Chain A
């Protein structure tokens, strides 16, 4: 199973670190007393868990951007859709503990005077069904979108713009109360997941570990694609799409398969993100989010997978710090970072480290 990691030192280190974190963080949170300086607060655990889901999201972007050359500026949409699917399950879990105490309808539907639950909310009370939808909904959207776009050979900037429009259209749609997804406020006020209280430390730890495992599995599956001949075809498509056609590959199908897989990964990341932050609203569809996550990948170093994960964690750490310390500076810092990386570090942090290594070696 770990064959695809041969020679991939960055990936080995990443996985080792995540495994280590999954072992140490629970211990520091649950068994070290709060008085000790080594105690990790539940707040921090949740924050770290959130970073892990971002890292998984960044992987999915790197797979299509770094290896296939598709700059998707709409991957946030798949992430949010996965999040909404999870949110719908969590809403069902609230039961009659909502403000209005209606056992069948979530609060916002009572507020809108709806008398029954819409058809597309059916089945989300079952965890397994919701989990299938977490992967199915983003996957189908990516498949249909990709089928149309790749078949008509839309590439480059045009494709990026369409992906951006896609996520913006979804943003507007989800803002509408009539859509039945809680409109502007989205879905929130979650209580339980699988019967476990979402506020308890143990559940938080469980979600953190689940995010870590998802990241590792996501990494391994991306790596399996990249290390296979399909991965080399992807790189070939990135560099010279026409040529690939003339040696007999169906470029549109290769793109479609990888793009859909990437959307499913993004959906899973979204589903893990929502119970940890406790809310999903249309803001997650905003084009800015999708652009931000491209910046994570660019900062880490695209086309390396582990670089994307690294970038996601670093940039988000910086974001947490800066939005706390100097809230008005963050957006400028993000923009500046992107310009700086594009101009001076085209291969991101990973590229920088590789060059340093070569210099030492030489």
Chain B
């Protein structure tokens, strides 16, 4: 199905009459519609017998349509490049005005006459909360996916899978609101308990107040990315060839051994893709964290004391009162976030593309 009919544009279909009578689906612009009319009009000579196909036209509908799709494809590359260019263009003046080291200063006051801001604490908070969230969510999500695909009765599995898909579509602001209004009090109780009994571990130390902490943020994030990872990996698990599963069972494998030897290896690229997608969501998550974290600017591994901050949450919180330099500073922090997610995504895609020969449809 390559380029075969390229030369025979308009050959057998009656050309203009037919083309004009068709309605045009969305996306075909006026430019395309006019093309065959204008090129067809001068004479229409040269149509002979079997071998005499019309010559390939320079401005035919085929070329116009092809050009249009090429332009749309190029638009993707242009947009990605434009994101990088415009963010850099707006970030550089603010970075020049910064009187502290952008990488190491722990604080964010870019609106003063001597702007001071640093990305270190924010980037640390972003990575810490996303990593924690993924650490909690991935095992649970894989467990649910395996339950839905291989343990639950088929009808129940399908119905619950549908529900999980729906939960994956719930907007993050709803999870943020729930985390702040409902979930924070059990987490506070749990934090106090941890502090009482495990206070000697630095992670759970401190004198409070507890509650609006990295732990709350990470848990809310985990609950948020859980349906996404579950829904993707469940689909991958369902695609395991039945022959592989039955072969494992026929050789005497228990159900867990069947999952470990047939299902999990088959789905590995899909699992990696799902994890990376979840990580991307967690890294870029703004509103849920802006609502649940107690905003501070400092690098600390304490999980339960009020505090924690991320690049995205800081943008949402500080944007309201930002002046020109403040906006530039926020854009600079967004550039750092963009770079982090770009690296994560490109790595994930490279892994998936390299493993694609193993499972074509899993990714």
A-B complex is real: no
Q: Chain A interface (Cβ within 8 Å of chain B)?
A: none
